[in-house]
Amino acid sequence: MNTTNILKKYPLCHRCFGRLYAKLLHTSNYERGKSLKIAKAIELESKLRILMENYNNKLNNKKEENNEELKELENNGIKGLKSEISEIKEQLKYLYKSGLTEIKLMDILEEEISEEIDEKKEENVEPCPWCKNIFDKENLEIISEKVMSLLNDYEYEKFLVGTMLPKSIKQLEKELETPYMESIRQEFNRIMGKILVEKTGKIVDKISPDIVVMINPYNKKIKLQVNPIFIKGRYKKLERGIPQTHWPCRNCKGKGCEKCNYTGKQYPTSVEEIIAEPFMKVFKGADEAFHGAGREDIDVRMLGNGRPFVLQIKEPKIRKADLEKLKEEVNKSGKVEILDLDYGVRKDVVFFKNEPHKKTYLAVVECEEEISDDEISELVNKLENLTINQRTPIRVSHRRADLVRVRKVYKADAKRIDAKTFELTLYCDGGLYIKELISGDEGRTSPSVSELLNKKCICKMLDVLNVHDIENEEN
Ligand SMILES: [Zn+2]
Ligand SMILES: [Zn+2]
């Protein structure tokens, strides 16, 4: 579409017209738009002058012409000129209506426009259908003050403005699109960002803002998207019988029933709840999520250097607090202990979830029959650097795909407790089910301790002694 065809359909203001070519020439959209219109107006005006001159000359010559044939030609020429002139006047009119009021200097044109609209001059300019005056000072002031009052409730350092457009504006943009256009969204983000930087003294951060301020500048609706904070650390579980995360009651699915004493919980507490509670109080979050680097069974303790975790606090009102104090608060529980606390980022969650860390376990193995010292030391030798084929254990088969995992035991050590019982320490791949490694799980895990000893064994107690992530890698 050429300049005046666009303006004929949509009387875009200077700023919006300039936005169609935002990627060309380093200047403001307003200046670019106005300049383009001025250039077009100059071109049209000079053409108009020439045409008018020709037209007047022809009118003068016409009287002297007697030859009918020539008269006919002359008349046609005059007609053609007349329509060309009115076409250019038309085009100038669109430029005027889109805000190029400098054109009013031209007498003829002014007549034409005042014929149509006999109100005040500035009302001859039509409202811009793209920006609809959202960049007006008062509008920007109302919106920025509204944002300020919403932000008041939150602690933050870095923010970002995001603009939401009404459907009709999005459609208009699609129709107007040029390869050099920028969306009005980008311009509003930029302008509102600048105003808010000035008012708040905070900074704009496009990569990891604490808060994204979502604004619809047309209806002045504002929404804050408060990004979560991540706190990483390691936890130890000192007591058996505590699940890692909150479990809804199996009977009522969390609604609360007689069986769960109307708590909605299957277990009175969890590692997640013990850790999250004091953090939620201090950071004033709306919700939380607990991400552990794997999980131990409910009856298994987590000892040693602890298991890495990330606590995600959603929509926090506070973003910085004394982590040392929070650590003490959690450790007072006597059930869970946390250490190595620090602020993390979203990526830590993915890392923790995907990294299959090697582990060191301590298991108490009980055999059906008595077991000799020789048998124990032979078992230890066989277990070292042993590859295990483990089909998904029966006890988890309802929630895990049935497949055979190949895992390795790297190191083993054993210590007798009594005639039928011994302690077994294992350093092995993450994801190896230890209870099944000992029992054999009806042949689904092979080789197993039961198989190697040729005696039926069970795991009586289990502790995780160490989770070996990159920083704590053995060897
Ligand atoms: Zn506009
Ligand atoms: Zn219940």
| Rounded-to-integer distance, Cα 174 and Cα 179, Å | 11
User: In this structure, what are the phi and psi dihedrals at residue 137, rounded to the nearest 5 degrees?
Assistant: -55, -45
| pLDDT at res. 442 | 94
| Rounded-to-integer distance, Cα 70 and Cα 456, Å | 122
Other CB atoms within 10 A of residue 419 CB: 11
Residues with CB under 5 A from ligand 2 (ion): 249, 251-252, 257, 259-260
Q: Whose atoms come closest to the Cα of 265: which ligand? A: 2
| pLDDT at res. 89 | 87
Closest listed residue to residue 407, CA positions, set 422, 378, 387 = 387
Q: What is the Å distance from ligand 1's center to 42 Cα? A: 22
| Rounded-to-integer distance, Cα 429 and Cα 439, Å | 18
Instruction: Walk along the chain (475 residues) in steps of 10 and give the mean pLDDT of each run.
Output: 84 96 93 95 92 86 69 81 89 90 64 53 77 95 97 96 97 94 96 97 95 97 97 96 92 91 91 97 96 91 94 97 97 96 90 77 96 96 96 90 94 96 96 95 96 96 88 47
Q: What is the Å distance from ligand 1's center to 301 Cα? A: 65
Token reading at 336: 């869970």
CATH match of 137-226 with 3.30.2130.30: yes
Q: Which CATH number fits domain 358-472: 3.30.1360.120, 3.30.70.3190, 1.10.540.10, 3.10.580.10?
A: 3.30.70.3190
Q: What is the Å distance from ligand 1's center to 228 Cα? A: 36
Is 361 annotated for ligand binding? yes
**Identical fold, 229-354 and 358-472:** yes
| Rounded-to-integer distance, Cα 408 and Cα 230, Å | 33
Is residue 297 among the annotated active site residues?
yes
Other CB atoms within 10 A of residue 114 CB: 13
* Three-state DSSP string of the chain: CCHHHHHHHCCCCHHHHHHCCCCCCCCCHHHHHHHHHHHHHHHHHHHHHHHHHHHHHHHHHHCCCCCHHHHHHHHHHHHHHHHHHHHHHHHHHHHHHCCCHHHHHCHHHHHHHHHHCCCCHHHHCCCCCCCCCCCCHHHHHHHHHHHHHHHCCCCCCEEEEEECCCHHHHHHHHHHCCCCCCCHHHHHHHHHHHHHHHHHCCEECCCCCCEEEEEECCCCEEEEEECCEEEEEEEEECCCCCCCCCCECCCCCCCCCCCCCCCCECCCCCHHHHHHHHHHHHHCCCEEEEEECCCCCCCCEEEEEEEEEEEEEECCCCCCCCHHHHHHHHHCCCCEEEEEEEEECHHHHHHHHHCCCEEEEEEEEEECCCCCHHHHHHHHHHHCCEEEEEECCHHHCCCCCCCEEEEEEEEEEEEECCCCEEEEEEEECCCCCHHHHHHCCCCCEECCHHHHHCCCEEEEEEEEEEEECHHHCCC
Is 235 annotated for ligand binding? no
Q: Whose atoms come closest to the Cα of 260: which ligand? A: 2
Closest listed residue to residue 45, CA positions, set 105, 99, 112 = 105
Q: What is the Å distance from ligand 2's center to 254 Cα? A: 6
| pLDDT at res. 474 | 45
| Rounded-to-integer distance, Cα 26 and Cα 30, Å | 12
| Rounded-to-integer distance, Cα 433 and Cα 367, Å | 18
Strand partners, 163: 215
Q: Which residues contact 423 (CB under 8 A, 6 or more apart)?
A: 362, 363, 364, 365, 414, 415, 416, 417
Q: Whose atoms come closest to the Cα of 133: which ligand? A: 1
Q: Which residues contact 457 (CB under 8 A, 6 or more apart)?
A: 365, 366, 367, 368, 438, 439, 449, 450
Please state, in angstroms and as integers, the Cα–Cα distance from residue 108 to each residue in 48, 80, 172, 209, 343, following that order.
11, 19, 33, 56, 71
Cβ atoms of 163 and 188 within 8 Å: the answer is yes
Please state, in angstroms and as integers, the Cα–Cα distance from residue 396 to each residue in 245, 364, 433, following that order.
17, 21, 10
Domain ranges of the chain: 3-124, 137-226, 229-354, 358-472
Q: What is the Å distance from ligand 2's center to 274 Cα? A: 20
| Rounded-to-integer distance, Cα 400 and Cα 418, Å | 36
Class of domain 229-354: alpha beta
Write down the catalytic residue from 118, 153, 287, 297. 297
Cβ atoms of 460 and 366 within 8 Å: the answer is yes
Cβ atoms of 117 and 123 within 8 Å: the answer is yes
